[in-house]
Chains A and B, each alone.
Chain A
């Protein structure tokens, strides 16, 4: 117990456990986030397409050639299809609901049984609605299919948004918790002259830096475990690869995050400086590293930068192991990127850390 490394590590653990907010952000927040996003996205495929049918009875602009019964008939025809949820709407209601995203498409009854479609081409669900509605109406009007396709529906866990999201949330949490837990606490300790006071004792500097990392790793199994187990049992998010390899990737992610945190905190001497530096480290990864949406959406020109970010490598490796069930060979590239970040950040920290 009187070992200085153990004592310094205990300090880190006490800092975490005596700060209820820290416990919330590390353990509870990711689970809440998974829950919220899981409920929002886990079965979005089953929701009916909501469309509006312009009703001439309330429509001042409708021409006299539009039969009064046409819109009611269209609603009935469309509603009969389980994929569609149709409602008769006045032009004002239709315009408002289309704008708010409550409906994906407005069906405008025309002369002689023809219809028009009003929708925003940039909304993917509107394009889907247009083709689905058109198919139903064309068939109802007597169009024969040239052939009957055989639909082979796939709804396996692993290909849904929630499956893609959970590894990203895990990666973000594993890497970024360290930035607040380590970088912020070092920055504050420096402003309080505590680091200077410690460096006036015979304390080994390697013990101090090592304890920052060790303190971070103690909670890692609970922190990552809670999220993986929760997502697995509640949303059926799979872990197809080996648990050992997954643990190794999580550990490497946390160590590289800790190394980055030490580097970020190596010079800052004020609250403002350390907060700014942490944000500089976090924000690009939050946006670019494929936490909430794929990093492949970004232009080719910045892809080398995106791919070199440690969180991109971590997220890619986690997805490979959890979703594709890949082995070590498939993630060797990501492991190399994370290892490089770890070594470079530790090396720079040892050189430039301000002990005053």
Chain B
């Protein structure tokens, strides 16, 4: 069964084609990673799947439903973490979670979410006083509070210290064990290798390679690797090139 199915997705902004005929299948229960350099079209793709952006062309099916027809039911089932959201700094951790919980018909008890994102000691702390890692965990907590079937995470660990990253990985594995599906984007190859069952490397709005981390590393021709075993990063660099992608 597919949690996400999209075909021939296209999105063009004024002077740039962000998504250029992208096909994607994410199976229910798997963790799927979208990798790609800056400006490859990852965020646009994920926002189209989240219903925050409309494609110019293409078909999107999420949890068997379609945007434009089942929006409210779909939103009840999705947990979303955006790249740059700054939550209201005047609210406490608990107030923030309670606010997000109130939007969902069904969800997880606040205490359970607080425990899962390890913010119980910070329950009454103002969001403005949290560290970067704590803010990010709260952001994921807000995505989990409606007990989603599908979790979208856009660069969830960018800018976090190694401890916070591991903590977040553990949290995501737990979500997986309970049968949840995850679609995430990341720049960290080690993260993709640890978390993802399958990966797609996106560049110029298209998927240029797809498979499990092991399949992708095995696919690299031996001459591309000089002095060590092929890593996912070698695959990524060989497929997307070495030039900088400053946005």
Contact = CB atoms under 8 A, between A and B. Distances in A.
Interface string B199-239: 00000000000000000000000000000000000000000
Interface string A4-19: 1011101100110011
A197 B50 CA distance: 11
Interface string B94-122: 01001111111100000000000000000
Nearest to A189: B88
Given A2-B101, A200-B75, A19 B90 contact: yes
Given A4-B103, A202-B104, A203-B103, A193 B86 contact: yes
Contacts of A4: 99, 102-103
A202 B72 contact: yes
B102 A193 contact: no
Given A201-B75, A203-B103, A356 B86 contact: no
B104 A201 contact: yes
A192 B86 contact: yes
Contact of A18 (B82, B90, B105): B90
Contact of B84 (A2, A10, A11, A193): A193
B87 interface: yes
A193 B99 contact: no
Contacts of B80: 197, 200-201
A200 B52 contact: yes
B102 A7 contact: yes
A189 B51 CA distance: 20
A303 interface: no
Contacts of B87: 194, 197
Nearest to B75: A202
A270 interface: no
A203 B87 CA distance: 16
Given A2-B98, A2-B102, A200 B82 contact: yes
Given A8-B99, A201-B104, A201-B146, A192 B85 contact: yes
Given A7-B102, A201-B100, A202-B104, A14 B86 contact: no
A141 interface: no
A196 interface: yes
Given A11-B88, A196-B85, A197-B82, A202 B103 contact: yes
Interface residues of B, number: 28
A3 interface: yes
Interface bin, chain A: 20 to 34
A196 B86 CA distance: 11
B185 to A, nearest CB: 15
A58 interface: no
A200 B81 CA distance: 9
A199 interface: yes
B91 interface: yes
B8 interface: no
Contacts of B146: 201-202
A41 to B, nearest CB: 39
A322 B83 CA distance: 53
A3 B75 contact: no
A194 B102 contact: no
A196 B52 contact: yes
Nearest to B96: A11
B62 to A, nearest CB: 13
Contacts of B72: 202
A293 B103 CA distance: 48
A14 B98 CA distance: 14
A200 B50 contact: yes
A14 B91 CA distance: 7
Interface in B152-185: none
A9 to B, nearest CB: 11
Contacts of B134: none
B189 to A, nearest CB: 27
Given A3-B102, A202-B103, 16 more contacts: A1-B98, A2-B101, A2-B102, A4-B102, A11-B88, A11-B95, A14-B90, A193-B84, A194-B85, A194-B88, A196-B85, A197-B80, A200-B50, A200-B52, A200-B80, A201-B80
Interface of A: 1-4, 6-8, 10-11, 14-15, 18-19, 189, 192-194, 196-197, 199-203, 356
Interface of B: 50-52, 72, 75-76, 78, 80, 82-88, 90-91, 95, 98-105, 142, 146
29 contacts: A1-B98, A2-B102, A4-B99, A4-B102, A11-B91, A11-B95, A14-B90, A15-B88, A15-B90, A18-B90, A192-B84, A192-B85, A193-B82, A193-B83, A193-B84, A193-B86, A194-B86, A196-B82, A197-B80, A197-B82, A197-B85, A197-B87, A199-B52, A200-B78, A201-B75, A201-B80, A201-B100, A202-B72, A202-B105
Please provide the 10 A-B residue pairs with the shortest distance between their CB atoms, ordered closest to farther. A192-B86, A202-B75, A7-B102, A4-B102, A197-B85, A200-B80, A201-B103, A203-B103, A193-B85, A18-B90
